[in-house]
Structures are given as C-alpha cells and as structure tokens.
A = this chain, B = another copy of it.
Amino acid sequence: MTEGPSATALIGSLPVSRPFIAPEELAVRAGHSALLRLGANESAFGPAPAAVAAMRDDLARVAWYGDPESMKLREEVAARHDCAVENIVVGAGIDDLLGLAVRGYLSPGEASVCALGTYPTYAYHVTGYGGRLETVPYDDDGKVPLEKLARTAHQRGARIVYLANPDNPSGSFAARPALEAFLEELPAHTLLVLDEAYADFVDPRELLPAPINPRVVRMRTFSKAYGLAGLRVAYALAAPETIATFGKIRLQYGVSRIAQTAALASLAEPGFVAGVVREVARGREEYHAFGRELGLATLPSSANFVNFDIGTRERAEGLVAALLARAVFVRKPGAAPLDRFVRVTVGTAEERAQFGVALAAALEDVGAKAPA
C-alpha cells in the first residue's frame, strides 16, 4: 500500500470524524428496538398530507431523474419570496448548500468565523476545504455574540461569516434590526452565510426582506417545519451572481425527484406548516414548564427545540446517557458555555408527555438536579 494511491495532502490531514452518532446506532448500542427521537430536531408532526399524497403518486416514476434545474420548485419559492428564479438554487439539504458556499467562497488558508459550537456541519466543511476556522464563544445566556463575530471577522480578514438564525443548538434568534446592524458591521468583502433552517418557526416579518442583499446567502430547508428531513431538499436565496457561482459546482442531478415533488406539494398546503409552527410553540411552553417544575432553567428558543440547564457538562452528559437508557434520544451542545445544557426537540403532545416522565426519572437516575 505504501506505493499505492494516496489521498491529497489536505484530505490526508483531516481527522476521521463522526460528527453525529445516529439514533439507529444509539438504539443498537443501548439495546433498544426504537428510541423516542427528540435529538435531531426532526419534525414530530411529519410531512404535509399533500406531500405524502404527491409522493405516493410519483413513486412509479422514481426511475426518472429529477429536473436538474428544480424549475417548478424554484418558481414557487421565488413567488413566496418575491424574487426571481435566478435568486434561488435548490440543493440536497442545507448541508449540501453549506459545502457549496465554503467551496465557492473560501480558498484554502482563508479565514471563516462562526460561533463556537454552532451547527457543526459548517465547521466540517471549512476544515474539509482547508479553510481556517475562527470561533467566538456564545454569550453565557445562549445568545450568538454578533458584535464579537463582526470584530473577529475584521481582525482575521474573514471571507465568510456563518450565522444560524434562529441558532442551533442554542435556539436564540437575532431579529431583523439586529441582523441588519450586524451585516453593516461586517467587512465589505465578507459573505454572510445565513442558515435559516429554523426560520419557519419565527414571524416572517422578523426576517430579512426581498430584495436580496448581495452580501448574504440565506439558506432555507424543508427538513424542519415541513417535515421532509429524510428527503434532502433545501434552497439558497442570494444575488444572481452568487447563485450562478453555486451553479458552477453543484451536482446537476443532486436533488431527488421525489424531494422536489414533496417540497412543491408542501408549499401548496401552507395551513399544515402553520399548524406545525403553532404546535411547536405550544410544545416549547410545555418544555419551559417542565423545567420550572423540575428546577431546571431553560433557554428561550425560537426553534423546534429547547435547552435545559443541567448545571455542569458532566451532569448534562450523564442525563443524555440516562435518557438513552430510557430509550429517549436527545443531544447536547458540545462547547462551553452551552455544554451544561441538554437540547430536546419538541415532540407531539404524547411524546412530550413521555419525555416529561422520562426527564424526571432520568434526573433521579443521575442525581443531576441543578443547584438551587
């Protein structure tokens, strides 16, 4: 093997990483046949009935490639955002689009800035494409430190700043005025990659409006409120030049036919998503109430999950393990100061009740109540 093919110097230098251990694997490890899935912010409310019907009708045609331009879906998305199809590119999930952004705008050795411990796939791409990742810790209240991000971007000459808004894993949200001020503070040559995976859970008037600022790429997904995570479909909204750049390197046939079908049908049933958003808001309130009852502080959240303060990293890790032993899958933020929290996806009413019981019991298991 020593004289055989070898990976490039960059790829050879990368660690073999497992950014996520899937619930399927955790179930096997813990000896459960199934888990209550509250760890990956999947929608407990499933896909829209119209999407299921449209997929069922299209199953016989999965032998056909999807439209490489996703034209019908882009037309519908453009109408919703009051922009042109040239402002939209469809990808196989935001993970895919993040890779295109990094590959397109960050040369090896160049700097990118994000919050320490935010959605890890962004960092995975920066490292994987040879960029330099500069991070700024969250504020202790779970907020993304926008001023520090902007300052670091200037200091490091960052080509890209990544912001998840609402943020994952914290759930915090910077509304439009704060976001617009942040954008003004960024260096002029810096691209803001705005991951709006959870933006369907906030009032659209709090988001950036059309027309599209050429210094921003906004990314939206059908994985969260729309309940289509298992299909891989998302889109980016940006200036036509930016979209054209993504188009130079994207997989032309990368978005599956069935995902296009389901996304389009979902957009035609807005009442379903509105109902999901309402139920998620109700579920967040229940989770905050669980926290109060159990003496656990919770972070405000604008997304479909809530973070419970377990006091210390060790206690939080113990609680995740204790919940897994009770067949409940949750995850926790990995980096200080949020590593003392456990992040729990909002489930259905029944799942929330199950979780409430399991949480109380798991806290007993680990003796991990937060200090009074």
Contacts and interface: CB of A to CB of B under 8 A. Distances in A.
Interface in A1-44: 1, 3-12, 14-17, 19-20, 22, 24-25, 37, 40, 42-44
Contacts of A37: 64
Interface in A178-214: 188-191, 214
Interface stretch (A45-53, A287-295, A359-367): A45-53
Contact of A62 (B128, B189, B254, B262): B262
A62 B104 contact: no
Q: Which of A4, A6, A42, A124 has the most CB of B within 10 A?
A: A4
A352 interface: no
A16 B248 contact: yes
Given A11-B249, A256-B256, A215 B5 contact: yes
Oligomeric state, in copies: 2
A61 B230 contact: yes
Secondary structure type dominating chain A contacts: loop
A227 interface: yes
A86 to B, nearest CB: 12
A69 interface: yes
A262 B63 CA distance: 11
Chain A interface residue number, banded: 35 or more
Nearest to A159: B5
Given A189-B3, A252-B20, A257 B245 contact: no
A214 B7 contact: no
A168 to B, nearest CB: 14
A229 B256 CA distance: 8
A160 B59 CA distance: 37
Interface stretch (A92-100, A137-145, A332-340): A92-100
A17 B248 contact: yes
A154 interface: no
Contact of A189 (B5, B22, B188): B5
A372 interface: no
Nearest to A7: B245
A56 interface: yes
List 5 A-B pairs, minimum CB-CB distance, nearest first: A230-B257, A5-B191, A63-B227, A62-B230, A8-B107
14 contacts: A1-B214, A5-B160, A24-B69, A40-B64, A42-B63, A46-B62, A46-B63, A56-B56, A61-B230, A62-B229, A63-B230, A65-B230, A93-B253, A231-B257
Interface of A: 1, 3-12, 14-17, 19-20, 22, 24-25, 37, 40, 42-47, 51-52, 55-56, 59-69, 71, 92-93, 95-96, 99, 103-107, 121, 124, 128, 159-160, 188-191, 214-215, 223, 227-232, 239, 241-242, 244-245, 247-249, 251-259, 262
